[in-house]
Amino acid sequence: MQAFSLKGKTALITGASYGIGFAIATGLAKAGAKIAFNDINQELVDRGLAAYEAAGIEVRGYVCDVTDESAVQALVAAIERDIAPIDILVNNAGIIRRVPMHEMEEQVFRQVIDIDLIAPFIVAKAVLPGMMARRKGKIINICSLTSELGRETVSAYASAKGGLKMLTKNIASEYGQYNIQCNGIGPGYIATPQTAPLREKQPDGSPHPFDSFIVAKTPANRWGTPEDMMGPAVFLASEASDFVNGHILYVDGGILSYVGKQP
């Protein structure tokens, strides 16, 4: 269907060397988009470039700290010079720090907020003027189940992702008049390197207790995969979603709809 085609579009996916970002970039590329991505250092960029090459996907990779506004402005200018103006932005870069709130140092809390909330503001701010001038654009913020639900040890992450949900809605409210759509994807529990410690087998070979908990809480009866993000991202990046704005699409296997199994 032509409405889902991204042919002729240029997409920037932040922090897309691996994991969810890599999968989303791959999905957008397969739909026809030209892909640019960044990461925090050259080692990660090189890792990403090798993975894309192995997958047969042509990309441009850049080193950029997305919490540095001047560096982000330079990144956007470089992408426009090397490829084309940015039509699609996916704010994917993020971190999590699992520490009980009463034990978390202030600087750690601030680091998570800086990367998971302030950076999406900075990058969106950098691409918005061009999108406004062209009167079209797609911004996709990678939110989380913790945009809606709290859990032990993730106070900083939940605060950032809750804020990102509202930033998404505000960008939609403020810039919809320019034919710019800003939506979010809220992944459920996804099998990535970031969540690997929660899926490790116990010494006796049994599943990690958290692994068992998540599978039992998910109607799909499994963790998600990064590839599960591809279709939703293509939809929100394409003309098929031109009247979808300020929406958070939860890709969670049904967790938010489910009270859980009876013990």
pLDDT-based confidence at 221, cuts 50/70/90? very high
Which DSSP string corresponds to 232-243?
HHHHHHSGGGTT
Q: Single out the residue of 155, 165, 211 nearest to residue 187, CA to CA.
A: 165
Token pair of 189 as six digits: 């529990």
pLDDT at 165: 98
**pLDDT, tens digit, for every residue of 232-253?**
999 999 999 999 999 999 999 9
**Is the confidence at residue 216, as pLDDT, over 80?**
yes
**pLDDT, tens digit, for every residue of 126-170?**
999 999 999 999 999 999 999 999 999 999 999 999 999 999 999
Identify the residue whose tokens are 């098929």: 240
Q: Are 124 and 171 in contact (CB under 8 A)?
A: yes
The total of other beta-carbon atoms located within 10 Å of residue 8's CB is 10
- pTM of the entire structure? 0.96
pLDDT at 184: 98
Q: Single out the residue of 250, 191, 252 nearest to residue 220, CA to CA.
A: 252
pLDDT at 28: 98
Establish whether 157 is a catalytic residue.
yes
pLDDT-based confidence at 41, cuts 50/70/90? very high
Catalytic residue of the set 157, 175, 189, 250? 157
Token pair of 38 as six digits: 């960044």
Return d(Cα 58, Cα 80) in angstroms, integer: 16
Give me the mean pLDDT over the 95-100 stretch.
95
Q: Are 126 and 73 in contact (CB under 8 A)?
A: yes
Distances (CA, A) of 126 to 64, 66, 216, 219, 238: 13, 11, 42, 39, 21
Question: What does DSSP assign to residue 206?
Answer: P
**Is the confidence at residue 263, as pLDDT, over 80?**
no
φ, ψ of residue 102 in degrees (nearest 5) = -75, -10
Contacts of 130 (CB under 8 A, 6+ apart): 76, 80, 85, 86, 137
